[in-house]
Amino acid sequence: MQKAKKRFFSVTAVLLAVLVALTALLPTAGAAQAATMRSKYTGKSYTHNARFNKLEVLNGVDISAWQEKVNWKKIKNDGIDFAILRAGYGKNASQEDAYFATNFKNATAAGLPVGIYWYSYAKSVADVEKEARLCLQVLGSRTLDLPVFYDLEESSQLNKGKAFCTQLVEHFCSIIAAAGHTPGLYMSRSPLLDYIEQETRGRYALWVAEYGSKTCKYDGDYLMWQYADNGKVAGVNGHTDMDFLYGNKNSLPGSATLLKSKTYTGKAITPAPTVTGEDGQPLKADKDYTLTYINNKAVGMATITAQGLGTYTGRRWYYRFKILPAKVTGLTLESRSKTRLTYIWNATPGANAYLVKVINRTTGKGFDKAVSTTRVDLTDLTDTQLYEVQVAAYRGNTAYRGPYSKVNAKHALPGTVTGLKTKKTATGSITLEWNKKPGADGYVVYQYIAAKKQTKRLATTTARSFVFKGSGAKPGTKYYFYVAPYTVDSKTKEGAKGTQLATTTRPTATKCTAAKSAKKQQITVHWNKVKCNGYAVQYSTKKNFSGDKKTLYVSSGKATGNIKTAKGGRTYYVRLRPYTTVGNTRYYGSYTAARAVRVK
């Protein structure tokens, strides 16, 4: 097997693997039944274990950057049935095999089933976890037909003994299996026996290296035999490692049948798949096959290997099923502000992380947030708006996410209303309107009574307008209003009052009692006083006031006004109306009837 920079002929690679002896790869026309056969790639004959008599023997190569550029079409045309590619080595991102991406692309394009291996330098469990995570990162979303093998062969690792080496294998393989891949182990026969516990050897797909021998002397079950490191294959420069794989094209280790997902219980989960023979008829457990389960307790991807017995000896069937966390319960709003919602929920057994799904029901937009605790702060929200929240538990990655909790929808605390203004005013009413507040379920209208320094709640409305009228609305009177939005979920929450609006009713119309010209170029007008801030007296030489008109403004304390006309000896028309003022705006009452006056 190729190390990072040098090539080692005695391979002791503990390649991580899943499934008790994954033994299925697709055969080709050149695949022969287990027996003694000659390898065209080494020119030597090899005898296969009798346990594989009913299986096909497939020819393969394992390739790394050591071979540099290879021609995969030539490799396949030379009778090679599968390829194992080095994805990388060690724990650092820079240690990805420089040719892995290219080799994977071209090997699969040539129609070859592919598996991978990762060469280990781990000195601790922490190191091997980093190696496994990096292996998965390098693999990405690629699909494999064969296992992910853990290559453990450094003397510094073996020198730490069986317990240490077994722990490395188990940890690497469990991470690979939980990610949904089939893990496997690569080692030379002797170190495999000396440094890996028998139970672990039986748990994962084995790729056994044994050179210089006409047969693989490992007496347990194994998927592959690396029988030489000096093979000659068209398309490869120099020598390459050569491998036999014992399998069946209809049962590839990397394409196991996916069963229905199960819910995590904290105990081993052992579903029994229906295993069928070549005739499609169901086989009998413990007579025709035995079942072995891998990673079937923790949240992740569990695997099942059905290994043939009796007349089915040597056959294997592969299955997978997800173990997912239970549905999250107890999702509760802990606190909120205008821009934040804080939720808590019950811990879900088997999970180590949670995915929070948030949908803004006001805008229709949403986002997800992953957390490692049972509490989440949803920040940078928009006041008043309604957010629908659900939480799902997972472990490792969201591919192993359980069902979402029930929806808990809450508003961020309401903000303030903007744009409050007078839409229309009359002598006995004022119509208010304001901008829509997204997310608000309604609005509360308040009146501020200046004389009493009191705020009075007038009404709630779901509209964006309100008509103030009735006994409280007196002509020619100034009023002050506020509007606040409110939301309704499990509680009703009211926002702060917006900017105060000062407005007024229009004054009652007055009556012009007299309009005379007693002096040259002057008109004296009399009227009845009404409640207002002043009077606008308008005069014009046009009866319909369509032009040549002017206005005289008189204070509210007076009931008479003198108009100085531009000319004498002609008729003028006079009318007036009261007004109230708010700021710089005048709100007028109705005009009186026009009076005609002949000016002296």
The pLDDT score that the predictor gives to residue 252 is 63
What is the distance between the alpha carbons of residues 315 and 47, in angstroms, rounded to a whole number?
19
Q: Which CATH superfamily is domain 512-599 in?
A: Immunoglobulins (2.60.40.10)
Average pLDDT over residues 408-418: 97
Please name the residues in contact with 481: beta carbons below 8 A apart, sequence gap of 6 or more: 420, 432, 445, 446, 447, 448, 468, 500, 501, 503
Average pLDDT over residues 447-464: 95
CATH class, 421-504 region:
mainly beta
The pLDDT score that the predictor gives to residue 255 is 66
CATH number attached to the domain at 332-411: 2.60.40.10
What is the distance between the alpha carbons of residues 89 and 131, in angstroms, rounded to a whole number?
8
The tens digit of pLDDT for each residue in 313-349 reads 877 888 889 999 999 999 999 999 999 999 999 999 9
Distances (CA, A) of 598 to 47, 429, 545, 547, 560: 136, 39, 16, 18, 18
Average pLDDT over residues 207-231: 94
The pLDDT score that the predictor gives to residue 28 is 35
* Residue 292: band (very low, low, confident or very high) from pLDDT cuts 50, 70, 90: confident
Percent of the chain having pLDDT more than 90? 78
What is the distance between the alpha carbons of residues 347 and 327, in angstroms, rounded to a whole number?
10
The pLDDT score that the predictor gives to residue 3 is 52
The pLDDT score that the predictor gives to residue 120 is 97
Q: Is the pLDDT of residue 6 over 50?
A: no
The pLDDT score that the predictor gives to residue 250 is 58
What is the distance between the alpha carbons of residues 336 and 331, in angstroms, rounded to a whole number?
14
Average pLDDT over residues 70-78: 97
The pLDDT score that the predictor gives to residue 264 is 97
**pLDDT: which is higher, 177 or 339:** 339
Q: Please give the CATH topology (third level) of the domain spanning 32-252.
A: TIM Barrel (3.20.20)
* Residue 254: band (very low, low, confident or very high) from pLDDT cuts 50, 70, 90: low
**pLDDT: which is higher, 341 or 55:** 341
Identify the weakest region by mean pLDDT among 29-33, 185-189, 486-490, 582-586: 29-33
The pLDDT score that the predictor gives to residue 30 is 37
Q: Which long-range contacts (CB under 8 A, 24 or more apart) does 101-109 make?
A: 103/63, 103/70, 103/72, 104/142, 106/72, 107/63, 107/72, 107/75, 107/83, 109/72
The pLDDT score that the predictor gives to residue 156 is 97
The pLDDT score that the predictor gives to residue 343 is 98
